[in-house]
Amino acid sequence: MKLFEFEAKEILKKHGVKVPRSVLLEKGEKNPLEKIKAAGLEPPIVVKSQVLVAGRGKAGGIKIAKTWEEAEKLIAELFEKPIKGLKPRYLLIEEAIPHEKELYASIIIDRSERKPVILASQFGGMDIEQIAKEKPESIVRMYVDPFLGLKAYQARKIGKMIGLKGKILNSFASFLIGLYDVFMEYDADLAESNPLAVTEDGVIPLDARLIIDDNSIYKHPDISERNLEDTGEYTEWEIKARKMGLAFVELDGDIGIIGNGAGLTMTTMDLVYLYGGKPANFLDIGGGASKELVKTAVKFLIDLPRTKKIFMNIFGGITRCDEVARGIVAALEELGGSPKPLVIRLSGTNEEEGRKILQENGIDAYTDPIEAVQKVVSL
């Protein structure tokens, strides 16, 4: 789960990391300037749209106000300005930080080493993909033992490797330890600061990102759940699907896909593409799906406007083909028949029983996935 910049910075601050002085404005705030003055801030100030999409700055979501008049105007403007389709509920108002240089620092878990890895570069400000492309040799990596934690000497070593020294180096090391503590304490998938500004006094994060592992949210009651609508990660139909408990990703084709198991479902998409069709989505009903879940999934894909036809590829392992068949029948009964062609491949556990249930309801099913995919593409 992505945190808003102001949430990430609040957490960093609690862990002893110095962040810019700021005040948060919520939409509808009556006297924003009063609130900013009360917080001891005055122009130049930075007005930052709190949206969860990348590339906020380039999209015009971050502006500097040099005067109170400008501030008032920008605040009104940014509250109304959609950034990649999302309007902010909050604006973060920060002191402007004069700085000489911008660094990059982040922490993720390295899959191969199974350890946290710290990534840093002396070229901050651009995104890591861009740095990796333009200045790959500038990216410094260091693995950390998850039981021992990040030691100060290691943090200093990273700082030295990206060219820092003296007071700035020590400040960077302290920052990194704070970032690491937050990364570990919050089960983060990503803790990042970019840009991390170098000022006369030390480093200070101009931006901060924190993505929490969805599976660990229960451990962190201080983190409030995101509205799916606010994340900018999901389409309208993906949000609907998540609320219904479906593992669904929307694609740009027109053949609706249902599979059981992520690998098989992806493979089903690939097969459709291979045989000349375009998948409309990924929808995995998982292992051991119930009749109810199958019914929900089938109805959902029939409702999905972009599907012209639907391909269901089931290999029964834990999933029982008879249960799947019952779900399909129930869906079609409720809808009074499918308004969109439905091609089904059914194989594996209780295959015969499933096939029988379908036949009794006038529905055919393939055994061979290749035949089935050729059929659905040809429709």
CA distance 304 to 298: 10
Q: Is 231 an interacting residue with respect to other proteins (CB under 8 A)?
A: no
Tell me how long the chain is. Answer: 379
Binding mask 34-73 for other proteins (x = CB under 8 A): ----------------------------------------
Quick one: which of 2, 156, 291, 375 contacts other proteins (CB under 8 A)? 156
Q: Residue 151 pairs with which residues in a beta bridge?
A: none
Amino acid of residue 336: G
293 neighbors 348 (Cβ within 8 angstroms): no
Q: Which stretch binds other proteins (CB under 8 A): 55-63, 78-86, 258-266, 332-340?
A: 258-266
Peptide bond into 43 cis (omega under 30): no
Q: Which x/- pattern, by CB under 8 A, does the window 318-337 give for other proteins?
A: xx------------------
Chain mean position to CA 181: 22
Residue 264 binds other proteins, judged by CB under 8 A: yes
What span, in angstroms and rounded, lies between the C-alpha atoms of 152 and 163?
A: 17
Instruction: Give me the least distance between CB of 303 and other proteins, in Å please.
Output: 21
Given 90, 104, 186, 366, the catalytic residue: 104
Smallest separation (angstroms) from other proteins to the CB of 163: 13
Catalytic residue status for 218 = no
Q: Residue 107: beta bridge partners?
A: 118, 191
Give the range of 24-32, 195-203, 321-329, 346-354 binding other proteins by CB under 8 A.
346-354
Please give the structure tokens belonging to residue 102.
């911008």
Q: For residue 97, count other CB atoms closer than 10 A to its CB.
A: 17
165 binds other proteins (CB under 8 A): yes
Binding mask 96-135 for other proteins (x = CB under 8 A): -------------x-xx-xxx-----------xx--x---
Q: Residue 160 is which amino acid?
A: K
Q: By rule CB under 8 A, what string of x and - marks binding of each residue 193-212 to other proteins?
A: --------------------
Contacts of 210 (CB under 8 A, 6+ apart): 2, 3, 7, 8, 11, 182, 186, 188, 190, 191, 192
Of 307, 303, 203, give the one whose Cα is nearest residue 257: 307
Q: 3-class SS at 133?
A: helix
Q: Which residue in the list 5, 94, 192, 323 is annotated as catalytic? A: 192
**Footprint of other proteins (CB under 8 A):** 109, 111-112, 114-116, 128-129, 132, 145-148, 151-153, 156-157, 160, 165-166, 169-170, 184, 187, 189, 213, 215-216, 218-219, 247, 249, 251, 259-267, 269-274, 279, 282, 284, 286-287, 315-319, 347-349, 368-370
Which residue numbers are catalytic?
104, 192
